[in-house]
Structure 1
Amino acid sequence: MNKRFSRRAFAATLALGVGMALVACSGGGNGAGTNSVSGGDYTGPNVTISFWNGWTGGAAPVLVPKLIQKFNTEHKNIVVKDVPMQWGDISAKMPLAIKAGKGPDVSVAHGDDLATYAAQGLLLKSDDIVKSLGYGESDFPEGVFKAGNYGGAQYAIPWSVTPLGLYVNKTVLTSAGLDPAALPTDKASYQKALDALKAAGVQGEWVDGYVFTGTFEFETLVWQFGGDLYNKDVSEATFNSDAGVQALTWMTDLIKNGHSPSDVAQDGNFNALVAGKTAFNWNGVWQTTNEALPNVQWVAAPVPQIGTEKAVWSSSTHWVFVNNKGQDKNKTAAAATFVKWMNDNSAGWAETGELPAANTVRNDPALLSKYPNLKPFMDELPYAHYETVSPGISAANATITTALNEAVLGKKTPKQALDDAVTKANQLLKQNKSQYGG
């Protein structure tokens, strides 16, 4: 299971399990207010700030403490306390901690969670902080900054982006007479490669019915075929449009036409790539750090353009300032200094399998020199699509995976599965509006 899955579990638990309770009990701080900070380093009295995060696997547990130690050494009046824990534990502790004024001073959240947290009153409005630190939309990949905006206010600062890419087992391609230096870029060349692989006895792309990574591939294809997941104000689901049906049909046809097994286990497609049983896998940039890949002759490329438009799914993570009861403004100001420093020094974050969101860091030639496998993912950012911004959206998003699973397993046709999922999603969106307003 990929490390990011545990973060999603945290997000879903927090969004679904404590939604109404948080609206009632968050009244800790001044969610409608802002905290003034200086654009330079924090110059106030000595403070200790708490940084809650769920980075307990992979390279992050090694890198985060190193970065924090360096920051603390350079800032004599700030001590950042690293508080790593399982994301599920965070979801259980955060609401009551905020109500009691004992939550973190700074944390990180995914883009599709930000509106939920903001609507629940968990986060401080951060317009003044963002402005003071000199950040704006142009400092990050197009579209990602807006994920932190809810109700006309900015609640977050981007930290990283994680687009999908095409992973290729070069040995498998070569065995089928294909040239690893001429990778498919569109529907025709991708289909040609799949047919050649099939002729050589290889099922070229294994399709799964799980979030990782079937849902991300489906959403990519919906956008490539010119559709969208929801309407503009996120009051209705639209992923059962002609574009959605085309996308899901294209995926199920891979199974129907013998390019994929019919029942792929969670992570089975990536494991098959590593084992030399398949040639292609649509997966996230985080897999570039997978410990199994050094034993494989592999390369990554942008996902092929199957539809009429260039598009690719990407997630994002963002810094957030927490709205504790009686939140100390000095601590928030110190946390802002910490966030700016972390973004400025985020080049090493690529070691964890995520792209730094700050353009100045990510576009530094030294980054690609050290992490050349990141280039295809970076090349996709101009046409990347990020998470839908709307309170409680995680529950509606889950219906997409349900539809995918039903269609992939042959329980329903793509259209029937999507139509049924949209009916459920619209009910959930209506509940979200009643619960969160707007």
Structure 2
Amino acid sequence: MPVPRSGRRLRPGRRAVLAAAAVGLSTALTASLSACSAGSDTASSGVTLTFSWWGNDDRAQRTKEAVQLFEKEHPGVTVRTSNSDFGSYMQKLATQAAGGGIPDVAQLDYRQVSQYAGGGALRPLDGDVKNKAIRTAEMDKEFLRTGTYEGKQYAMPMGRGVTGYAYDSAVYKKAGIPTPKPSWTWEDWAQANEKVAALDLQAPDGRDVAGANDNGVNEDIFEDWLRSRGGQLYASQTKLGFTEDDLTEFWTFCDKLRDKGSTAQAKDTSQATTTETSPMGRGLAAADFTWDAPFPGYPALLGDQVHFAPVPTTGGKQGAYFKPSMLVGVGANSKHPKEATELVDFLLNDPRAGDALGFTRSTPPNRTLATRVGKTLKGPEREIYAYAQRLEKYGLDAPPTAPPRGDVAIQTAFNRAYQRVMYDLASPRQAARELIDEANRELRS
């Protein structure tokens, strides 16, 4: 499955994680994690905060630079930082939450907000926003809603991302496919895949090159498809916003394209976990669904002919929306909520922090900082910054609030259910019925 800008992987549900933490982790690991969690120590020279995030080396270096600027501005505060890859970070944070508390300041995925807010691991930030301890005047109010749970603000967006397709413009030109516009349709996209497949291009392993990845495994793509038809993924925190017919239609559409050879084979879709292992990254497809933040990995891997195309529409209606690439929250048990809140505000709003962080978490949510950083961008980063501006002018619907706690498990089940379709173990309708039954159980639990 292609990797979105949040670095998304298959993730365990909250109950499963807590159970694993209770029975499978050693006492030593729990003690180590607890030492980094809420209730950070007060050093002899002042306050010590813990701050953790996931990301690559560039993000780590830039974040540490921003933290050093904060420490210089707040001489009585020391920030102890930690970061790791996405999968390790998710497991560690879940263990910390189960063991007594997350760090004073923690980076969060969009799908974690409801899970940790509902579980009491996050401190509500409404009061801090109201008294301007966390400034939001330069942020879009609808976008801020992505960090809310049951009407309260529990997390602040750190970056604004949007979905699209990395595509090989040289292959598209050879196939006679026009440069995709924000108004192109799912039918146009399907025809483009068929035209690429008809070129009979050979991949490095000698197999035919398909038009794109198989969309069926990815809940993000289904959500864009659904929203382009006026639908939504969730009607509430306890109810799905789509029907069995909706999902059957989407998976039938995907299944037929794969059967034609227009999209990647099942085994190649199943093996995809990163840019490098995606069908496009392996030279097996001319396009791959992705988020804006990881998009630069494609031209770095394949060449400057790779560009970023909009998600297709239904009759011109865009289903994509601006989503937080990641968010930041304050641990509910932090002994230093004032200083933790000051760190959050600094990272989001201080121009010096903006310069240090750059585009490492996609477009800054602070509009003034985004304009400032945008002037420094080059190459693929400049392209995705301009892409977001282009889609904003075209018109996107407001983003939904953070998804329900059960969404983490539902996203995993979504991939698993469609894999049954890919390997002819279930029809699209059978798989859709199974997914909806499992999703409803998760939402009721």
Considering the TM-score relative to the shorter chain, is it more than 0.5? yes
> Taking structure 1 as reference, are residues 163 and 12 closer, same or farther at Cα in structure 2, changes over 3 Å only?
farther
Relative to structure 1, is the Cα distance of residues 238 and 406 closer, same or farther in structure 2, using a 3 angstrom cutoff? farther
Query: Take 1:407 and 1:205, find their aligned partners in 2: how far apart are those partners?
Result: 18
Once the two structures are superposed, what CA deviation does each residue of 1:330-379 show, in whole Å capped at 9, x if it has no partner?
Answer: x2111211111111233554543533222332244734744312222454
Whether the aligned pair in 2 keeps the contact of 1:15 and 1:394 (CA below 8 Å) is: no
In the other structure, the counterpart of 2:307 is 299
- Residue 228 of structure 2: aligned partner: 224
Q: Evaluate the alpha carbon distance shift between residue 315 and residue 414 of structure 1 in structure 2; reply closer, same or farther with a 3 A threshold.
A: farther
Give me the identity figure in percent. 19
**Given the superposition, is the C-alpha separation of residues 249 and 377 from structure 1 closer, same or farther in structure 2, using an over 3 Å criterion?**
farther
Contact 1:164-1:283 at 8 Å conserved across structures: yes
116-125 or 403-412, larger mean C-alpha shift: 403-412
With over 3 angstroms needed to count, the CA separation of the structure-2 counterparts of 1:184 and 1:386, relative to structure 1, is same
Q: 2:261 aligns with which of 258, 263, 287?
A: 258
1: CA distance between counterparts of 2:301 and 2:176?
23
Q: 1:17 maps to what in 2? A: 17
Residue in structure 1 matched with residue 427 of structure 2 by the alignment: 413
Gaps of 5+ in 2: 23-44, 201-208
State the alpha-carbon separation in 2 of the partners of residues 5 and 197 from structure 1: 29
Q: TM-score, length-normalised on structure 1? A: 0.78
Alignment of 1:69-88 (within 5 A): 69-85=68-84, 86-87=88-89, 88=91
| Contact 1:315–1:387 under 8 Å retained in 2 | no
Letter in 2 for 1:223: R
Aligned with 1:198: secondary structure? helix
Question: What is the CA deviation profile of residues 34-90 of structure 1, one whole-angstrom value per residue up to 9, with x for unaligned ones?
Answer: xxxxxxxxxxx94221112233x3421222112112222232222222122431223
- Structure 2 residue identity aligned to 1:225: R
- 1:436 corresponds in structure 2 to none
Query: How far apart, in 2, do the equivalents of 1:5 and 1:359 lie?
Result: 20
Given that 2:214 and 2:263 are in contact with CA atoms closer than 8 Å, whether structure 1 keeps it comes out as yes
Please say if 1:393 is aligned against 2:407.
Answer: yes
- Letter of the structure 1 residue corresponding to residue 210 of structure 2: Q
> What is the letter of the counterpart of residue 82 of structure 2?
V
SS at match of 1:172: helix
In the alignment, what sits opposite 1:32? none
RMSD of aligned Cα (Å): 3.4
Residue equivalent to 1:288: 295
Gaps of 5+ in 1: 23-44, 432-438
Residue 366 (structure 1) aligns with: 374
Cα drift, residue 108 of structure 1? 1.7
Q: Mapping of 1:1-80 within 5 angstroms?
A: 2=3, 12=12, 14=14, 16-18=16-18, 46-55=46-55, 57-80=56-79
2:210 and 2:7 map into 1 onto residues whose CA distance is 30
Task: Tell me if structure 2 keeps the 8 A contact 1:140–1:358.
Answer: yes
User: Counterparts in 2 of 1:18-417, with a 5 A limit?
Assistant: 18=18, 46-55=46-55, 57-85=56-84, 86-87=88-89, 88-98=91-101, 103-133=102-132, 139-141=138-140, 143-180=142-179, 185-201=184-200, 202-207=209-214, 210=217, 214-231=218-235, 233-263=236-266, 264-267=269-272, 271-290=278-297, 293=300, 295-296=302-303, 297-306=305-314, 309-312=317-320, 314-324=323-333, 327-328=334-335, 331-344=336-349, 345-346=353-354, 349=357, 351-352=359-360, 354-364=362-372, 366-367=374-375, 369-370=377-378, 371-374=381-384, 375-380=386-391, 382-383=396-397, 385-386=399-400, 388-417=402-431
Aligned mates of 2:421, 2:398 — CA distance in 1: 26
Post-superposition offset of 1:20: 12
Task: Note if contact 2:157-2:328 (Cα within 8 Å) is conserved in structure 1.
Answer: yes
Deviation beyond 6 Å, 4+ runs, structure 1: 3-7, 19-22, 181-184
Q: Partner of 1:40 in structure 2?
A: none
